[in-house]
A and B are shown apart, each in its own frame.
Chain A
């Protein structure tokens, strides 16, 4: 993180070339996160640009002792959610306990066929997961993206979401459960081993 910190310090001091270095360092991760949130690449591109302008506007108010990653993703998140609220007022809240018929984990039949992986099946499963991801509500997509793609620690995710650790964990669990449910309903009978 030391290199990022020095870039941030340079940017706050007014050195404009620190900006392009920061952008190159974060471009892929930031874009990927935005695509997961808004699902449309064209909108993600606009938000990508807006995020960096907002970073420039607020960098002097940023406390350098804080985690820059979490702050950057928070800025992007706020812009993305504002955008979603305006364009597609899909439900941005977490689904309630009765919103879908969730089986409790114990009710699910344990799979007992420890089959070996087939390469074709593996690719198929990967695309199934990717497709199922887009079906999930944005709140769930987000936490899965942050945990598995960005590989953020739970504490970092809590900072980005502005939520307590327990909320992050329960949201993570519920998003995985709904992901699994979605996979089962889209591809019934698929073997998930």
Chain B
């Protein structure tokens, strides 16, 4: 029986149920006739059995509760961050829509005004340039002022 060694090498995995079907058949066939190897196989099976039946440590309910609370808090944080991002994207897009939409309306409204001042001034590009400059100036200064204020408040806090 010179495949003793080969079979012996497979016995541990056999107890773990990790053999291929052909290997299992070989092992089963061999131990039917070899009591020594059968004994070995039984030893391995015994160890495997004990491993399968190890007592399960239970998590204390306080631990589970705390894990749940922290995970739910993180979940809410992530949902909040996603929502915030969505809102900002919407507002920025809408701001562009407003700018583009207000252009013809402003032109409608001011076309008459510029005509009153001087017909030559009623050029599209003048209105556009004036409109855009005004927007960027006021918006920019508001942003700068607010950040300065915010920084001052943070330093005082």
Q: Are chains A and B touching in the complex at the 8 Å CB cutoff?
A: yes
Chain A residues at the B interface, C-beta cutoff of 8 Å: 14, 16, 19-20, 23-24, 27-28, 31-32, 35, 41, 44-45, 48-49, 52-53, 55-57, 104-106, 108, 110-112, 114, 125-126, 129-130, 133, 144, 147-149, 151, 154, 169, 172-173, 176-177, 179-180, 183, 192-193
A55 with B16: CB separation less than 8 A = no
A169 with B13: CB separation less than 8 A = yes
B75 within 8 A of A: yes
Given A19-B75, A52-B68, A108-B8, 9 additional A-B pairs, CB 8 A: A31-B59, A45-B59, A56-B78, A111-B39, A112-B35, A149-B54, A151-B52, A180-B47, A192-B47
Q: Is the interface of A mostly helix, strand, loop or mixed?
A: helix
Interface size class of B (residues with CB under 8 A): 35 or more
Identify which of A19, A44, A151, A173 contacts B13 (C-beta below 8 A).
Answer: A173
Identify which of A20, A31, A110 contacts B58 (C-beta below 8 A).
Answer: A31
Pairs A–B under 8 Å by Cβ, sample size 12? A28-B59, A31-B57, A32-B56, A48-B59, A49-B66, A56-B71, A125-B46, A126-B53, A130-B50, A147-B16, A148-B51, A172-B16
Chain B nearest CB: distance from A189 CB in Å?
14
In the complex formed, the residue of B with least CB distance to A180 is: B47
How far apart are the CA atoms of A85 and B13 in the complex, in Å?
Answer: 30
Chain A nearest CB: distance from B17 CB in Å?
8
B72 with A173: CB separation less than 8 A = no
How far apart are the CA atoms of A14 and B8 in the complex, in Å?
Answer: 53
B39 with A112: CB separation less than 8 A = yes
How far apart are the CA atoms of A18 and B25 in the complex, in Å?
Answer: 45
B63 with A45: CB separation less than 8 A = yes
B66 with A110: CB separation less than 8 A = no
A106 with B74: CB separation less than 8 A = no
How far apart are the CA atoms of A111 and B36 in the complex, in Å?
Answer: 7
Q: Is the interface of B mostly helix, strand, loop or mixed?
A: helix
Residues of chain A within 8 A (CB-CB) of B16 are 147-148, 172-173, 176
B57 with A114: CB separation less than 8 A = no
CB-CB under 8 A for A52 and B39, given A148-B52, A172-B16: no
Residues of chain B within 8 A (CB-CB) of A14 are 79
A129 with B42: CB separation less than 8 A = no
B43 within 8 A of A: yes
> Which one of A41, A108, A112, A192 has the highest number of Cβ atoms from chain B below 10 Å of its Cβ?
A192
B5 within 8 A of A: yes
